[in-house]
Every structure is written in structure tokens, then in C-alpha cells.
Structure 1
Amino acid sequence: MDTSEPSVICHVDNGLCRLILNRPEKLNALSLASFEAISTYLDQLNYEEIGCLLLTGSGRSFCAGHDLEGLASGAEGGAAERIENKLVERLATLPFPVVAGVRGHCYTGGLELVLAADIIIAAEDARFADTHSKFDLVPIWGLTQRLPRRVGMAKAKEMIFTARSYSGIEAVQMGLANMAVPDVELDSAVEALCADILKTSRRSNREIKKLFEDTDGMSLAAGNAWELHHTPGHGPGFAEVIRNFNAKN
């Protein structure tokens, strides 16, 4: 019987889906098996029950990148690359908010994975880096598309061309992370943010996220027109607010 720990753990509790990379002995390095496990979990989720997804890593690092053992063995070729790219895209386009909590390493493949999150909270001493050029590699999980959209083209080129690492505080300064907190406060800060998200309207968050995605790349005028004509507007929750307001007045 296989008693090894799963490479990814998934828990759902009161609308919060916790997705935890679980290879702490390898700093949560990613493998094809990790991507397949995440994909299976997503297949099994009841999306209507989820208000937020939290992506974290067990142990002292979020993710040190792709497991080089899999690459060195030749086991992960073109088919695996397409599966992995598709999974990152799937995470990035989930209908509900995705939050990532990052401590320790967030390197290369880990950086590509975390860029699928809507909101990133980092430990102040976390380390973000892209090292593709250090190993004569070229991104295949969307880094050249998502990183410039997050930090701007000039900063993305600096990160990619130099392979330098940046702290959680620097990640906030460049717009990569939303906030940075002391490592001992990371878990509580992430939980508090997810709790705030879960207090708001799931319908609103889903529809607003869809508007963001539908209008990405449009001019301001075109995006404004799209929002005007495609917004679903008020929901049942707003009607209840109005009823309660009227009942008090």
C-alpha cells in the first residue's frame, strides 16, 4: 500500500477551497503529477459552493519551481507541457477569486503558477524570481503574458533577463504582490483576506471577474461600453438590502 503523502492537498470549508502544494522536502517543486492532482481536484469541486480559492504551499516555501528530476528524465515532453499550461490557464480563469499566500521561494514555475492568482499576499522575506534564462529555458506556462500585465513590461524584462530574486516587500513595490507581512503573520493575513472575500456577494465577485477578463486588452471606451451593455446589474441580494432599508424607514 502506498503511504506517501499526496503532492497536493485540497480542503473545502464554508465556501473556501484550500489548495496546498505538499512536497515540502522538495520545496514544493512542481511535477506533472502535481498538475494532474490539481486538475482532478478542480474537476471534483462544486463551483457553486466556492466563494474563494486559496493557493499555498506546505513547509517553508511556496514553490521552488519545476522539479528538475522530471525534466532530466525526459518524462515530461510536449504533451506534459500542454497539460501544465492548460492547468495554469484554468486556475487563472476560475470564476471565483483566487488568493495566493507566498512564503519562502516562489521561483520560475512557482512564479508562473502564482501569477494565476487574482491577489497575492507575501511574507516580507519571501523570494520571487524567474530563472528560465539561467538554465537556457523559455517559459511555456504563460509567464511572458501574465508577468508584464502584473508588473509592467520593463520590470518583467528586468526580472526575466537578470534572473534576480526579489523580496516580498519588493514584490509589493513592483505590483507583483498586493501586500507583504512578517512571515509569522502571513497565515492570519491570508485567512483574514479570504474571510473578507467570503463576506461579499459571490455573484458580484464572479460577474466582476468575468468583466475583467472579457474586457482585457480593450480600450477604455470599448471596455466601458462593454460593461454598460453586458453587466448583469442588481442581484437578489441587493433587493433584500432595499427591502430591509425600506422596513426601517
Structure 2
Amino acid sequence: MNDDLILRQTDRGIATVTFNRPDALNALTIEMLTRAGDVLETLSADQSVSVVVLTGAGRAFSAGVDLKALQAAGQDVSEGNVGDALNEAARRVQHLLETMPQATIAKVNGFCFTGAVEIMLACDIIIAAEEAKFGDTHAKIGLRPTWGMTQRLPRRVGMMRARELSFTARTIDGRQAAEYGLVLEAVPLGALDEHVADLAAAIAANSSGSIAAYKDLYARSENAGLDAGLSYEAETTYAISDVKQRIGDMLARLKG
């Protein structure tokens, strides 16, 4: 497994975990998500770490699922599903982000689409660059969400806004994301690193035991009914007749 796919740096109780496929806009693969899960699992047991910051190298947090890798693997997408292996790797990352005792911050520096939005939503706090771009493009390529979009997104932006964003597959910037409640704050890209560093330091200065308790209690409050919704999203199947054509069209545009 390529360790360089995920970078890890720890400084004064703050760990930064970085998706590191900048040439592919950090598009998500099974290997990449598996490695991310391994790193997060190790950090979750590290009592010297109080805060985990998740971000991406280069111009993107992540462009979402790597469609080229999906096609190369011969994944059957006739039901709009990216497949068990990718689903399990992604859900493990989300579960760790939501349940590890450390506070988790998504630092969204650039493009953040579809599966990457679902990963981002599993973090406790999201800070974005004003220049960042967000979108739920499942419908544009004929896929359906399997990593919790339909459960977590409405909890952030409200049901009608979630429907509108998903149905239109439109792109919004960091300012709009903050306005809608998708992210906590949006700051200029040049100020993002310092802003998140200050936030992480303010959290790390407090009791790690208290933060862990807060995290569990807030999750219990917010997630009443979430488990049932996640199970329904994961287990329900759909016939989406144009998914192969739409993915093919998207890959052709990427080549062009």
C-alpha cells in the first residue's frame, strides 16, 4: 500500500491528515480511503493527540470518487452504487471521524465534490476557503449516495436546501456554503491555514476528556434516528438505467 497517498503530521497535540493525490485532485480510491482509515484508527488511540485536521494537498480537498479507478476495476454501477469495497472503506473513515475521541476539523482548501462532501460531513467542524467549490454531483453522473449524504446533509443545511443541492447538482463556493450552514466559516484561502491552526490550538488547550465527552453527547443528541437512516440508504437498491452512459460521458470530458 502506498503510504504517500495519505500524509500525517503532528505538532503540539494537533494531527493533520492530508489526502495526497494532488495531480488527480485527491480523487478517492479504495487504497486511499483504506490508508486514511488506518491513519485515523492509529490517531484515535493516541492520547497525545487532541485534534485531527483533515485536508487535501494542492487545489482540492477531494474531487470525490475516482471514476477512472472505478471503471478500471470493472465495478457494476447499474444500480448507481460504487461497490461494497469502496463503500466499506469510506464508511470506516466516516465512522472514525465521528467516533474518535479527538475533535475533527475538515479544512476545505479547494474542490470538494460528492463523496468528498460526504467524508467532510463526518467531521465535527468544517472550515472552508471562500474560494472552495462544493457540489453533490451524484445525479449528474447517475449515481446514488451510499455514504450518508441523504442523512447528514439535511442536518446541516435543512431538508429543502439539501434536496435543491442534490437535485440540481450545482456548485457553490465557500461563502455560499457558510451561508447555507454546510460549513461553519469561510475565510480567504490565504488565511485558511492560520485560521484553522488557531481554532485547533484553542480546542487542544482544553481538557481532552471533556472534549471526548462533549463529542459523544452532541453526537447522541444530533444523531437520533441517523443509524436507521444510514442503514436504509446503504441497503436500498435502485435501477438507474443511464449511469454507465453518464459515467462514460464524464470520463470522456475528463480526457478531453
- 5 Å-filtered alignment, 1:1-249, equals 6-45=4-43, 46-74=45-73, 77-216=83-222
Q: Secondary structure of the residue that 2:47 maps to in structure 1? A: helix
Shift of 1:218: 5.4
Shift of 1:102: 0.8
Distance in 1 separating the partners of 2:224 and 2:3:
45
One-letter identity of the residue aligned with 2:23: E
Distance in 2 separating the partners of 1:48 and 1:80:
29
One-letter identity of the residue aligned with 2:133: R
Shift of 1:130: 0.4
TM-score between both structures, scaled by the size of structure 1 = 0.82
Shift of 1:35: 0.9
Shift of 1:59: 0.6
- Residue 60 of structure 2 contacts residue 111 of structure 2 at CA under 8 Å; is this kept in 1? yes
Q: CA RMSD in A?
A: 1.9
Q: Secondary structure of the residue that 2:143 maps to in structure 1? A: coil
| Unaligned runs of at least 5 residues, structure 2 | 76-82, 226-256
Mark the CA change 1:150 to 1:28 in structure 2 (over 3 Å): closer, same or farther: same
Between 23-32 and 79-88, report the one with greater CA deviation. Answer: 79-88
Partner of 1:232: none
Q: Secondary structure of the residue that 1:38 maps to in structure 2? A: helix
Mark the CA change 1:196 to 1:147 in structure 2 (over 3 Å): closer, same or farther: same
Partner of 2:231: none
Distance in 1 separating the partners of 2:23 and 2:87:
24
| Unaligned runs of at least 5 residues, structure 1 | 220-249
Distance in 1 separating the partners of 2:162 and 2:119:
16
Partner of 1:226: none
Distance in 2 separating the partners of 1:217 and 1:91:
14
Give deviations 1:91-130, integer Å, cap 9, x for gaps: 2222221001112201001111111111111111111100
Mark the CA change 1:83 to 1:192 in structure 2 (over 3 Å): closer, same or farther: same
Q: Secondary structure of the residue that 2:218 maps to in structure 1? A: helix
Q: Secondary structure of the residue that 2:10 maps to in structure 1? A: strand
Shift of 1:44: 2.5
- Matched pairs, number: 217
One-letter identity of the residue aligned with 1:28: N
Mark the CA change 1:217 to 1:118 in structure 2 (over 3 Å): closer, same or farther: closer
Mark the CA change 1:177 to 1:217 in structure 2 (over 3 Å): closer, same or farther: closer
- Residue 7 of structure 2 contacts residue 20 of structure 2 at CA under 8 Å; is this kept in 1? yes
Partner of 1:239: none
Shift of 1:217: 5.1
Distance in 2 separating the partners of 1:13 and 1:137:
39
One-letter identity of the residue aligned with 1:188: E
Structure showing greater Rg: 1
- Residue 37 of structure 2 contacts residue 89 of structure 2 at CA under 8 Å; is this kept in 1? no
Shift of 1:12: 2.1
TM-score between both structures, scaled by the size of structure 2 = 0.80
One-letter identity of the residue aligned with 2:11: D
Distance in 1 separating the partners of 2:223 and 2:196:
30
